Amino acid sequence: MKTAVKAVLAALLAGTTVLVIPAQAATIVQRTAVCHAGDYSGTFTLRYDTSGGYHRIMNGYTTSGPYIGDVVGKVSLRISYRTGSTSQTVYSHSSSTTGSTTFTMPSTATVPVTSTGTASATFDNGTDSCVATVLIS
């Protein structure tokens, strides 16, 4: 113990940076899915990390189009997981979009690593619609 403390103090005095990395640091996963309906398409990207037995959803980003002029579409996001025959929704939100939307998730948006999770973005421009789905695993 004394040797470790001396080594850290010596490193600090020498101007060296000492980094302590936790043994189970979380890794960020990014998944993207695309959907098409005629000329209309949507792209959905989800970011999450995994630690402590849960996938913690960080954020999501969508793009869709083409939009001509001021056409406004709608994007709906649903994140859920299934355990056996039971499905649980952990987040859902709909909003208007003219091409791109960012979703920031609450800290409660988590999926147990023992369950099968999905995140689906439904894009609708009033004429066409499609769904882009990513797996959370």
Beta-strand runs (E) in the chain: 27-37, 40-51, 54-65, 73-83, 86-97, 100-104, 110-112, 116-124, 129-136
Q: What is the pLDDT of residues 67-90, one digit of tens each?
A: 766 677 899 999 999 998 999 999
pLDDT digits 0-9 by tens, 33-72: 999 998 889 999 999 999 999 999 999 999 998 876 667 7
pLDDT, mean over the chain? 83
Contact present, 74 and 124 (Cβ < 8 Å): yes
Domains and CATH numbers, the chain: 24-136 (2.60.40)
Maximum C-alpha span of the chain: 71
